[in-house]
């Protein structure tokens, strides 16, 4: 009873643009976390979002805590555009909950999906360009919770921790390999092979057998017609390799089977 009344009293004195969802994870220094509802999924698991992101993993724990303390917690609704093509890069976005897509628009307004990111992923790559601007747009495709860390703060930390810079070089090499594999995937003519490769690539990224992608997003990602994707997925489902759960969710039930299709790409 006492803590309920005390919690209400404390929050009444906080400006309206702050709320319990904005005050977790140590974002507002000095607040007693026991009084506030820990909405952050990483805080609930007794960890931090930075520990899940390769960009930060080489940093000492105390430095990660400093970054978190300097971060801004943001909640946005589905459809919110975080940045548009050509906007300056001023922060790193860490997804705590929900999904975000990156995409480009051509002169006719047609959308080309680049990627769909989920919790425990971050958007940061363009901050190392000579003139750091986004070469794509960033939009929430569900309600999202995001942690925002300024690039200026992170680059300052990087200057004092060369071990993190080495880790960053290794990570960029991995990203380059992933990009080459995506180009290879798009060069494959067979819709079955291309779709199998896409499902395996998403599983490899998330480590989860459930892939959250709508048909139109899969089609845009691997440059196939939506009807072709639908037909291919039905074929995979009949073969027992996947099950479609509805609402854009696909469960992979036979990874070896999908891999066998993808492995035979050269023969297709």
How confident is the model over 215-238, as pLDDT tens digits? 888 888 888 999 999 999 999 999
Out of 108, 143, 171, pick the residue that ends a domain: 171
The segment with the largest mean pLDDT, out of 82-86, 109-113, 223-227, is 82-86
Q: Are residues 4 and 98 in the same domain?
A: no
Query: Is residue 180 one of the residues assigned to a domain?
Result: no
The lowest-confidence range among 32-36, 95-99, 132-136, 256-260 is: 32-36
Cα(120)–Cα(52) distance, integer angstroms? 6
Q: Are residues 45 and 167 in the same domain?
A: yes
- Residue 48 class from Cβ within 10 Å (0-12 exposed, 13-18 middle, 19+ buried)? buried
Q: Are residues 116 and 142 in the same domain?
A: yes
Alpha-carbon distances, residue 181 vs 117, 176, 188, 192, 200 (angstroms) = 18, 9, 11, 17, 12
CA torsion through residues 10, 11, 15, 17, sign: positive
Query: Is residue 177 one of the residues assigned to a domain?
Result: no
Q: Are residues 261 and 141 in the same domain?
A: no
Query: Is residue 166 one of the residues assigned to a domain?
Result: yes
pTM of the model: 0.67
Average pLDDT over residues 163-181: 78
Q: CATH no. for residue 216?
A: 1.10.10.10
Predicted confidence band at 91 (pLDDT cuts at 50, 70, 90)?
very high
Chain centroid, CA 207 distance in Å? 13
The neighbouring-strand residues paired with 122 are 94
Q: Summarize pLDDT for 115-137 with one digit per residue, the tens.
A: 888 888 899 888 888 889 999 99
Q: Summarize pLDDT for 22-42 with one digit per residue, the tens.
A: 334 443 333 333 323 345 555
User: Where in the sequence is the domain holding 206, given as residue range(s)?
Assistant: 188-267
Tokens of 160: 């004092």
Cα(50)–Cα(87) distance, integer angstroms? 25
Domain count, the chain: 3
Give the model's pLDDT for residue 244: 92
The lowest-confidence range among 47-51, 76-80, 184-188, 209-213 is: 47-51
Percent of the chain with pLDDT over 90: 35
Q: Are residues 74 and 101 in the same domain?
A: yes
SS3 232: helix
State yes or no: pLDDT of 212 exceeds 70: yes
Q: CATH no. for residue 76?
A: 2.60.120.10
State yes or no: pLDDT of 105 exceeds 60: yes
Give the model's pLDDT for residue 32: 33
Query: Is residue 183 one of the residues assigned to a domain?
Result: no
Q: Are residues 206 and 130 in the same domain?
A: no
Average pLDDT over residues 181-202: 88
Query: Is residue 181 one of the residues assigned to a domain?
Result: no
Residues 6+ away with beta carbon under 8 Å from 124: 55, 92, 93, 151
Chain centroid, CA 67 distance in Å? 19
**Residue from 74, 52, 101 nearest 206 by CA:** 52
Give the model's pLDDT for residue 233: 96
Query: Is residue 126 one of the residues assigned to a domain?
Result: yes
Residues 6+ away with beta carbon under 8 Å from 6: 35
Q: Are residues 93 and 135 in the same domain?
A: yes
Out of 171, 203, 227, pick the residue that ends a domain: 171
State yes or no: pLDDT of 108 exceeds 60: yes
The more confident residue out of 25 and 65 is 65
Q: Are residues 167 and 219 in the same domain?
A: no
**Residue from 101, 102, 99, 96 nearest 145 by CA:** 96
Q: Are residues 69 and 164 in the same domain?
A: yes
Predicted confidence band at 79 (pLDDT cuts at 50, 70, 90)?
very high
Q: Are residues 166 and 48 in the same domain?
A: yes
The lowest-confidence range among 18-22, 94-98, 114-118, 137-141 is: 18-22
Q: Are residues 109 and 23 in the same domain?
A: no
Query: Is residue 113 one of the residues assigned to a domain?
Result: yes
Q: Are residues 238 and 151 in the same domain?
A: no
Alpha helices, DSSP H, located in the chain: 2-12, 41-44, 61-70, 151-160, 162-187, 191-206, 215-221, 226-238, 255-263
Give the model's pLDDT for residue 138: 96
Query: Is residue 178 one of the residues assigned to a domain?
Result: no
Average pLDDT over residues 48-59: 77
Residues 6+ away with beta carbon under 8 Å from 53: 94, 120, 121, 122
């Amino acid at each position: 009873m006492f803590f309920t009344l005390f919690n209400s009293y404390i929050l009444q004195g906080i400006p309206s643009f702050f709320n319990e969802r904005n005050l977790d994870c140590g974002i507002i220094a000095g607040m007693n976390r026991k009084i506030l509802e820990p909405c952050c999924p990483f805080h609930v698991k007794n960890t931090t979002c930075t520990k899940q992101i390769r960009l930060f993993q080489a940093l000492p724990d105390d430095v990660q805590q400093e970054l978190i303390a300097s971060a801004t917690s943001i909640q946005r609704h589905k459809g919110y555009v975080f940045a548009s093509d050509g906007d300056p890069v001023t922060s790193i976005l860490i997804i705590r909950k929900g999904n975000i897509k990156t995409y480009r628009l051509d002169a006719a307004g047609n959308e080309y999906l680049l990627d769909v990111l989920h919790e425990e992923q971050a958007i940061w790559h363009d901050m190392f360009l000579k003139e750091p601007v986004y070469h794509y747009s960033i939009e929430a495709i569900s309600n999202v919770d995001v942690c925002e860390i300024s690039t200026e703060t992170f680059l300052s930390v990087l200057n004092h921790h060369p071990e993190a810079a080495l880790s960053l070089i290794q990570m960029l090499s991995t990203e380059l390999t992933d990009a080459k594999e995506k180009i290879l995937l798009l060069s494959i003519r067979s819709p079955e092979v291309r779709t199998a490769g896409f499902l395996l690539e998403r599983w490899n990224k998330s480590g989860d057998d459930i892939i959250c992608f709508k048909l139109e997003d899969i089609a845009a990602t691997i440059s196939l017609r939506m009807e072709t994707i639908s037909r291919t997925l039905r074929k995979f489902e009949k073969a027992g390799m996947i099950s479609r759960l509805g609402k854009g969710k696909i469960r992979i039930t036979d990874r070896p089977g999908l891999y066998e299709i993808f492995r035979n790409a050269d023969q297709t």
